[in-house]
Each structure stands twice: as structure tokens, then as C-alpha cells.
Amino acid sequence: MNLFLIVLFTPLLGGLLLAGIRHPRWAARANIAIGMVTFTFSLGLAMQVLNARGFNTLDGWFHLDAYNAFLVALTAFVGMTTAIFSAPYMRHEFDAGRVNARQMRLYHSMFQLFQFGMLLGFTTNNIGVLWVSLELATLATVLLVSLYRTPASIAAAWKYFILCGMGIALALFGTVLVFFTSSSVLGHGNEALTWTLLHEHAGALDPFVMTIAFCFLMVGYGTKVGLAPMHAWLPDAHGEGPTPVSAVLSGLLLNLALYALVRLKMLVDGATGTGLAGHMMMAFGILSLFVAAFSLHRQRDIKRMFSFSSIEHMGLMTFAFGLGTQLAGVAALLHMTVHSLVKSGIFFTVGHAAQAMRTQKMSEIRGLIRHHPGIGWGLMIGTVAIAGFPPFGVFTSEFLLFTAALESNPWTTIPLLLGLLIAMAGLLRFVQPMVYGETAEQAVSVQVNMLPVYIHLALALVLGLSIPGFLAGWYEQAATLIAAVSAGGGV
Amino acid sequence: MSGAFLQQLVDSLAALMLLVSFALLAQHRMLSVLNWFAAQGVLLAVTAVVVAYGTDNHELYISAVMTFLLKGLLLPWLLWRVIKELHVHREVEPLMNMPLTMLIALAVTLFSFHIIQPIEKISELLTRDSMAIATACVLLGMLMMITRRKAITQVIGFLAVENALFFAAIGSTNGMPLVVEIGIAFDVLIAALIFGLFFFQIRETFDSLEVDIMQSHLIQEDENE
């Protein structure tokens, strides 16, 4: 329990502390240290949860089980490596005069506040607080997206703010509807929003109200997941914000929104006893996969291109969670892990590449491998990994997903395969000329730190070759938890 | 006061809420939009007090005070300051003409009643009739957001949606638990402050508060080279 408190409050206190550190270099170091503390304790916490098979803490306000403890560890890990990456990256931006000392302070402080919102969202047991924390994480990143104060970044942040604000308002309406039916079962108080109690009494909730509530929740949280057709904010927010922010948006924030959606789907399945919620998620998933795969071909900005790849993968995960079987659950969780690792790794590389080539335009980035082999190889291997080539973990999770789809809905494998092929073609078509060939003239040498990228890719490789026993057991535990309700619902 | 009287009182407040939402949509002048927005906030606080009295729920008094201060006074005042400092207190500039907007608003309201009515039958709360109106108000707020050209009217639409959600919470469920209520109020406050910050940044960068001009700075994916 103490471990949990340390994990949750380190980022909050860290964020407040960073607001007071004036010197950017010290702030960057403190940021890394806070990330390391959070990650170390989150590992301990994860072990504790795994042994105890889930427990409530602090009077039932927080609930930890296999599903969220694993996401807490993942969030803390990517948060830590992003902090390590951001130190030289942001120093370069600072030296180049794109941000001033005050903006650096805002950046570091908001970065940790965002981490706090993420961890609060994952661990809270109250679906109302879950909504609040998702909004908190969103607000923190809005300020980060507009950090450069360029016209494009302000326009992107405005779009992000309005669209996600609207989405999240719809999710709140869905939550109110859940409370509307649950308050007649569990009484008029916090109990009626407590997830564990709702989960126990899901059968007593009114199926009709829960169906309408899920429509709102699906569109609301779906906006934050970046599902098509509500994805318009995502490429702009990723393209215009600082690269460490793109990395945590893609690698972490989208996960939290999907996590919230799956938690609520478990309740809806229990109440309705039909596969309706799952089918909605499958439909949104496939649509997102296709929209993203085709849009990817039309991009000219490297960060926007990879953000469409994020939409594609979030679509795949949503589809897998929608399938609802245990195997699909394992596939989705594994995919979530490797996508977070590989995609944030790619964004780190892209950030350095854009600094070295002094542009984000793909047509002007040329010959990375000659100019700086580390960046070139990092981008090539990262792209190969995210496109789903063996032996990386993305291949494994996609393979599992196809197996699960073949078992329950065989016809879906055709659109899935098609979407993946189109997306892969798009990725390779753009990345190949950027990596090979003659180095572009405007290239400058920059200080890079490729260590986080290599760690992320190595982990994705390990997950692809052989998933360690404890981790496999962990995935199975979590997937059983998610699938149990769905199976009870008769999917 | 008897239960039937309270029931009627809440129903009338719900009707007023719908009326204010329509009024908000129909305004031509920026300042009157703000006035109606403030009126909506006050109306919300009154509803909260009535429901709190009727259900003997003391937590709701706290939300009522918070709502009055935040949505009835602070936010309208902040927006008024922004309008004054940026000199935008002129016309609203809708994208669609008013009669058409009103007709769509009417259709939206009918639609909400159509989907929500089956739900209301199952509830035994004092305030069960207001769910359909709350849904209608949410959709009307969204309509306002998409039919207005200026960033500031978009924000008022956004806050009107928040108001309608709060109304859904107190009106149809007798209020969410206090922790959630405070969390939401806190988020709305931060959001409003960020909005305010943005107005000045947008004005400084684009020399205009029009959304179209702003969005033209984003890279369009289908733009030809």
C-alpha cells in the first residue's frame, strides 16, 4: 500500500517541485530522477499486485489488479525513458531559441503532472475520478502541444482542446447515465460509481440505459483513443508539439483512454448480456485501421505520418478488445505493450532526425544512415518493428490477434490483413528514401542519445522472441479478468 | 413543501433550462450571449438548491454554491474581460442563418425526447423527467459550437455543454458524488483558464479570433504541391 502511494504521488510532488526549478539543465536532471523513482517503485508495486492477485487500497478508492498494475509499470517506464530522451532534445531546442527558460519550466512541470493524471486514471476505482484524471492528463498535454507558440502549434492545440473537450464531455454524459441506473441499485453515493462494486452487480444494471451510455462512452473515450472518424485532432497534436510530447501522447495517453473504454465495456457486457459493445469496438477498430492505412500514404510530415500509424495500431487494439476472448485479450495487451515501446522509440528517433536535418518534411530528410548511423538504423529497425515484421513483438501480438479472430469471426481477417499490408507499404515507402541515399545538404550534427531507443527496441525484440514466463502469466491473468465478464455475457 | 410541488418546480426549472439553451443559440450580439450564459449558470445553481432541499442531500448545497460562483459569476466575468480586452464585442457571425439553426435545434430536441423517454420510465427519482431536456441541452450546445465562426463563441458553446451535463447530473440523478463534482468543477476551471490564455495567444499570433483563419495554418494532408 505504501508502495502505491509513493508511485502515485512522486509525479505530483515532482511536478510541483519542477515548477520551482529555474535552471533548465537541473530541471531536466530532476525530471529523469523523478521518472526513475516512479519506475522503480512501480515495479515493486506490480510484483506485489501479481502475488496478491489484485486488491483494493485506501478504503476501496483505488483498485489494483493484473490489468492496471501492468499498465502502471509500462507508463512509469516510458515516462522515465522519455525523460532521459527529452534532456538532450529539449536542450537543443532551448539552445536553438525555440523555447525560453519559462517555457522549459512549464514543460517539465506539465510533463510530471501528465504522469500523475495517467497513474491516477489507471489506479482509481471510481469511474467519475477516472474521467477527471483523463481530463487532467489532456489539459496538461494541451499546454505542451502549444509550447512552441508558432501559429501551427497554437492552431493544433486549439483543435486538440476543442475536439477532445467535446469527446470527453460526451464520455461524462455516458458516466452520468451509468450513475443514473447504478444509483438505483447501489444507493446514491460513491458506491454507485465504484468500479469493483459495479462489476459485481453488473447484472442488476438496466441493459437499455447501459447500451445508450456505452454509445456516448464509445464516441467520447474513442475520440481520445484516436479512433476514426473522431481522429482529426491526433495528427496535428502529434505533428506540432515537441517530440517527447508526441512520444508520450502516442505511447501512453491513448492507452489510458482505451483502458477506460475496456473497463466500461466490462460493465456494459455484464449488464446487457450481448456482444453489442464488443461489436461496436470491432467496427470502430477496423474503420480506424483503414482510414489510418490510407491516410498514411498522403502525408508529407514525418511526425504526422507516424501518428497515423498510431491510429492504425489503436484500431487494432480496439478490435482485439472488442473480440472479447481470452486469446484476443492477451493479443491486445501484448500489442499495447510493444506499440508503446516501439512507437515512443520511433518518436525519439524522429525527433533527433528532424533536429539533424532541420526539417520535419519527409521529402527533405535524406541519407540518415550516412549522416548519423545511430539515427538511421534506429529509424529503419523501429519501422520494421512497427510494420509487424518478425522477430519483433508486434508480429507476435498481430499473429495472436489473427488466431483469435479466426476462432470467433473468421471473415474479419481479410480486412485486417489488407489494412496492415497497406499501412506497411506506406511506412516503408516513406522511410526507405529517408534512411538511405545521399545525405541532404542542410544536415547538421546534433548531440543524440539513442540509448532509450535501443532499450525500447531490445525489449520489443525480447517480447517477440520469447515472452518471459512471469510476464506471460501476467498477460493471461489480466486477459482472463477482461474476458470473464465478456464470456459471462455470452459473446 | 409537498413532493408534487417540488416535482413541478423541478420540471419548470428544466423547461426554463431548455428555453435558455434556445435563447443562447438565437442571440446576435456577443454580450447578450454572455448574459444568457450567466443566466444558465444561475439557473443551474437554483436547480441544485431545489433538488438538495427536496431530497435532503446536503452535499448538493455545496455544489450549488460552487456552481453559482463558478458558472454564474466567475466564468461570465472572465469571458467579459476577454471580450473587452480583445475588442470583439460585436456580432456573433453564425455560419448558418438563424431560422435554419432554430429548425435544426427543434429537430435535435425532438430527437432527444424520442431516445430518452424509454429510460425515464424506469426511474423513481424526483427529477426523472429532466433527462430528455438535459440531453437536448447537450446537443444544442454542440450545435452552437459547430455553427459559430469565432473561437470565443465556440468556447461558450463548450461551457454550455458542460452546464447541460451538470444539469443532467443534478436533474436526473440528484447529483453525482461530491468528490466527482469537485473534480469536474476543478477541470472546468482549469479549462476556462487555458481557454483565456489561448485567446490572447491566438489574437497575438493570428490577429483574429476566427477559427477558419487559424486552421488554415495547419498542414492539410490533401493539399497539392
Q: Which is more confident, A50 or B76?
A: B76
Q: What is the pLDDT of residue B2?
A: 65
A85 shares a domain with A231: no
pLDDT cut 70: percent of chain A above it: 98
Q: Which is more confident, A70 or A58?
A: A70
Asked whether the predicted pLDDT for residue A215 surpasses 70, the reply is yes
- Judge whether A359 lies within some domain: yes
| Contacts with A155 from chain B: Cβ below 8 Å | 214-215, 217-218
Asked whether the predicted pLDDT for residue B221 surpasses 50, the reply is no
Number of residues that make up chain A: 491
Asked whether the predicted pLDDT for residue B179 surpasses 90, the reply is no
Tell me the nearest-neighbour CA distance from B169 into chain A, angstroms.
6
- Judge whether B220 lies within some domain: no
Q: What is the pLDDT of residue A491?
A: 35
The mean pLDDT value of chain A amounts to: 88
Containing structural domain, residue A76: 1-125
- Judge whether A71 lies within some domain: yes
Q: Are B64 and B48 in contact (CB under 8 A)?
A: yes
CA-nearest of A116, A80, A128, A130 to A6 is A116
Q: Are A340 and A310 in contact (CB under 8 A)?
A: no
How does residue B223 score in pLDDT terms, banded at 50, 70 and 90? very low
A258 shares a domain with A154: yes
Candidate ranges A27-36, B26-35, B146-155; pick with highest mean pLDDT: A27-36
| Contacts with A176 from chain B: Cβ below 8 Å | 165, 168-169, 172-173, 176
Nearest to B177 among A157, A172, A190 (CB): A190
The verdict on a CB contact (< 8 Å) between B201 and A172 is no
Asked whether the predicted pLDDT for residue B224 surpasses 50, the reply is no
Q: What is the pLDDT of residue B225?
A: 35
Q: Are A78 and A341 in contact (CB under 8 A)?
A: yes
The C-alpha cell 529503419 sits at: A380
Q: Which is more confident, A187 or A113?
A: A113
How many beta-carbon contacts under 8 Å exist across A and B? 136
A177 shares a domain with A94: no
Tell me the nearest-neighbour CA distance from A176 into chain B, angstroms.
6
Containing structural domain, residue B162: 3-211
pLDDT digits (tens, 9 = 90+) for B65-115: 988 998 889 888 888 888 887 776 666 677 778 888 899 999 999 998 888
- Judge whether A130 lies within some domain: no
Candidate ranges A334-348, B49-63, B89-103, B142-156; pick with highest mean pLDDT: A334-348
Q: What is the pLDDT of residue B99?
A: 86
- Judge whether B222 lies within some domain: no
Domain endpoint, select from A125, A156, A180: A125
| Contacts with A142 from chain B: Cβ below 8 Å | 194
- Judge whether B224 lies within some domain: no
Q: What is the pLDDT of residue A380?
A: 92
Asked whether the predicted pLDDT for residue A138 surpasses 80, the reply is yes
- Judge whether A132 lies within some domain: no
Q: What is the pLDDT of residue A467?
A: 85
A207 shares a domain with A77: no
CA-nearest of A284, A373, A352, A272 to A323 is A284
How does residue B130 score in pLDDT terms, banded at 50, 70 and 90? confident
Q: Give the number of domains in chain B.
A: 1
Tell me the nearest-neighbour CA distance from A59 into chain B, angstroms.
14
B194 CB within 8 Å of a chain A CB: yes
Question: CA nearest A143 in B: which residue?
Answer: B194
Asked whether the predicted pLDDT for residue A335 surpasses 90, the reply is yes
Domain endpoint, select from A125, A150, A177: A125
- Judge whether A335 lies within some domain: yes
A297 shares a domain with A152: yes
B145 CB within 8 Å of a chain A CB: yes
A402 shares a domain with A254: yes
Q: What is the pLDDT of residue B120?
A: 67
Domain endpoint, select from A98, A125, A152: A125
Task: Indicate the range of A186-190, A375-379, A416-420 predicted with least confidence.
Answer: A186-190
B176 CB within 8 Å of a chain A CB: yes
Q: What is the pLDDT of residue A1?
A: 54
Q: What is the pLDDT of residue B126?
A: 53
A157 CB within 8 Å of a chain B CB: yes
- Judge whether B179 lies within some domain: yes
How does residue A81 score in pLDDT terms, banded at 50, 70 and 90? very high
Q: Give the number of domains in chain A.
A: 2
Nearest to A179 among B122, B176, B214 (CB): B176
Tell me the backbone φ, ψ of residue A94, rounded to 5 degrees.
-65, -45
- Judge whether A131 lies within some domain: no
Asked whether the predicted pLDDT for residue B216 surpasses 80, the reply is no
Q: What is the pLDDT of residue B122?
A: 66
Entry pTM: 0.90
- Judge whether B225 lies within some domain: no
A270 shares a domain with A406: yes
A387 shares a domain with A321: yes
- Judge whether B156 lies within some domain: yes
Asked whether the predicted pLDDT for residue A485 surpasses 60, the reply is no
- Judge whether B104 lies within some domain: yes
Q: Is the ipTM of this complex over 0.90?
A: no
pLDDT digits (tens, 9 = 90+) for A254-290: 999 999 999 999 999 888 888 888 999 999 999 999 9
